[in-house]
């Protein structure tokens, strides 16, 4: 059986940066760069054509920035995982792109090992944030909880399902492990996310880490 090849799109308006990213990725035989774009609209067109498994996007793209591009790709290609690779570490940008559907965020100032680790995580459909980004996001959620002025209590089953989701399990696996239906898993998952006012799986993972439901 042929090994799985993961298809990757790179979008950055600096050619040297695209070449550097490509060079790092090509050290992995299972990763194939199928498209490169220097602006957001070109990236969306190429994403439609190539249907990549992972899209590595700069935030500051001409014509369509990384936030709008993330929204567009996730709307049309929900199976494509989005990794934001940028110089921006502002909290508002972080939160916005995660809510748009990105599951990874790495700074260009981080070492190349973080970029590789992020792609490895997204290949397994797990979120990835470099250390500085994790700290910024955790501070955001701590502040959000503080401002809410009330504690949120999950049921034991909701907490159990949150842990399994944070560990990378999909609904079907969770249903099998807990001997319940997929529909029941979805109901508990939706209830937990509603209580916590979370919109994405990445936010749910960060909640689980911060509250010691899973190890970071």
Q: Per residue of the chain (216 residues), give pLDDT as tens.
A: 445 899 999 999 999 999 999 999 988 999 999 999 999 989 999 999 999 999 999 988 888 889 889 999 999 999 999 999 988 877 777 888 888 899 999 999 888 899 999 999 999 998 888 766 666 665 555 455 444 444 567 887 888 898 889 888 899 999 998 899 999 999 999 999 998 888 888 888 888 877 667 655
Last residue of some domain: 72, 102, 135? 135
Specify the pLDDT at position 3: 58
Specify the pLDDT at position 27: 87
Question: Half-sphere exposure (CA, 13 Å, Cβ side) for 143?
Answer: 7
Last residue of some domain: 135, 167, 194? 135
Query: Residue 73 sits in which domain range?
Result: 6-135
Q: Is 102 helix (H, G, I), strand (E, B) or coil?
A: coil
| 13 plus 116 within the same structural domain | yes
Specify the pLDDT at position 188: 93
Signed CA dihedral, 182, 188, 192, 198: sign only: positive
Helix (H) / strand (E) containing 6: strand 6-11
**Residue 171 falls within a domain, yes or no?**
yes
d(CA 74, CA 69) in angstroms, rounded, equals 8
| 108 plus 170 within the same structural domain | no
| 72 plus 175 within the same structural domain | no
Helix (H) / strand (E) containing 78: none
Specify the pLDDT at position 140: 53
Specify the pLDDT at position 150: 47
What is the number of structural domains in the chain?
2
| 67 plus 123 within the same structural domain | yes
């Amino acid at each position: 059986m042929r090994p799985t090849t993961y298809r990757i799109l790179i979008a950055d308006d600096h050619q040297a940066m695209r070449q550097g990213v490509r060079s790092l990725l090509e050290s992995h035989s299972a990763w194939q760069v199928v498209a490169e774009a220097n602006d957001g609209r070109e990236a969306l067109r190429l994403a439609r054509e190539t249907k990549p498994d992972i899209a590595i996007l700069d935030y500051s793209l001409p014509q369509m920035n990384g936030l709008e591009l993330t929204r567009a790709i996730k709307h049309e290609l929900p199976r494509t995982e989005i990794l934001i690779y940028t110089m921006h570490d502002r909290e508002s940008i972080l939160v916005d792109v995660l809510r748009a559907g990105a599951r990874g965020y790495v700074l260009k100032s981080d070492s190349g090992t973080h970029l590789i680790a992020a792609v490895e995580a997204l290949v397994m459909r797990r979120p990835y944030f470099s250390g500085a980004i994790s700290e910024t996001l955790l501070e955001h959620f701590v502040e959000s909880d503080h401002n809410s002025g009330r504690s949120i209590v999950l049921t034991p089953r909701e907490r159990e399902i949150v842990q399994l989701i944070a560990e990378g399990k999909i609904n079907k696996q969770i249903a099998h492990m807990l001997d319940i239906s997929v529909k029941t898993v979805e109901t508990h998952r939706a209830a937990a996310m509603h209580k916590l006012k979370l919109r994405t799986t990445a936010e749910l993972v960060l909640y689980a880490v911060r509250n010691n439901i899973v190890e970071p």
